[in-house]
């Protein structure tokens, strides 16, 4: 999550105040900059506004910093879903990269949801599975890059394409509600199928009845 710094500059020999608003910066950059500005002795007010429009004081931001020291960050996830119309079987695959306590990790997980109706719904179910995994990891107040090869899901979740199917809208609503609860800021990015091979492989394993959940430390999370 990024924060804009809002502050008023007041010269000690004048009565007027001028308001300044910074570009959005990271939590650490916001606190560092605020400390530097305070050294001038010319700030009359100082507030921070996050990407959701919520206003924070410096004291609240410092408390958030302490809370987040042990939490996952630098999160990037891939999702994919598959559906076999002849059998009604679906598969979901997710891969999550993140850092925590100075180490990098990767989670690979799949699932096979029943009673779905289409490949698009299987993709939404995969994104829901990813959202629940983020909740289980304890992710809060973070920007999360979400990548998938489903143009429909990515564009609908971005709000660029309308969603007319009720069942798909229900999935989208559930995902949005959970992200808002966790104060997660999703950044949706469409990628080509060949860039989503790990998640696709997990889907195929799920379709074949092989369910996996594995966490591994990795040298580089790129």
* Residue range 163-207, pLDDT digits in tens: 999 999 999 999 999 999 998 999 999 999 999 999 999 999 999
Neighbours of 61 (CB within 10 A): 17
Whether 70 has a pLDDT exceeding 80, the answer reads no
What's the predicted TM-score (pTM) here? 0.77
Nearest to 70 by CA among 137, 13, 120, 4: 137
Q: In the structure, what pLDDT confidence band is assigned to residue 144 with cuts at 50, 70 and 90?
A: very high
Name the percent of the chain lying above pLDDT 90.
68
* Residue range 81-136, pLDDT digits in tens: 999 988 889 999 999 999 998 899 999 999 999 889 999 999 999 999 999 999 99
Domains of the chain, earliest start first: 3-68 (no CATH), 73-218 (3.30.420.10)
Res 25: pLDDT: 87
Whether 26 has a pLDDT exceeding 70, the answer reads yes
Burial of residue 115, with CB atoms counted within 10 A of its CB: 0-12 exposed, 13-18 middle, 19 or more buried:
exposed
Q: Which two tokens stand for residue 31?
A: 């606190």
């Amino acid at each position: 999550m990024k924060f804009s710094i809002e502050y008023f500059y007041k010269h000690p020999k004048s009565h007027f105040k001028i308001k300044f608003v910074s570009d959005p910066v990271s939590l650490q950059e916001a606190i560092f900059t605020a400390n530097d500005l305070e050294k001038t002795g010319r700030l009359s007010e100082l507030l921070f506004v996050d990407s959701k429009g919520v206003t924070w004081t410096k004291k609240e931001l410092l408390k958030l910093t302490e809370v987040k020291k042990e939490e996952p960050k630098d999160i990037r996830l891939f999702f994919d879903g598959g559906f076999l119309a002849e059998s009604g079987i679906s598969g979901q695959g997710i891969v999550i990269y993140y850092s925590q306590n100075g180490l990098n990790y990767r989670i690979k997980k799949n699932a096979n949801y029943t009673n779905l109706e289409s490949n698009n719904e299987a993709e939404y179910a995969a994104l829901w599975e990813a959202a629940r995994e983020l909740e289980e990891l304890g992710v809060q107040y973070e920007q999360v890059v979400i990548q998938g090869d489903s143009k429909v899901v990515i564009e609908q979740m971005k709000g660029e394409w309308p969603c007319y199917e009720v069942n798909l809208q229900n999935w989208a609503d559930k995902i949005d509600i959970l992200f808002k609860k966790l104060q997660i800021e999703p950044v949706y990015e469409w990628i080509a199928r060949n860039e989503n091979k790990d998640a696709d492989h997990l889907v195929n394993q799920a379709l074949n009845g092989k369910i996996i959940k594995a966490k591994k430390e990795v040298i580089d999370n790129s």
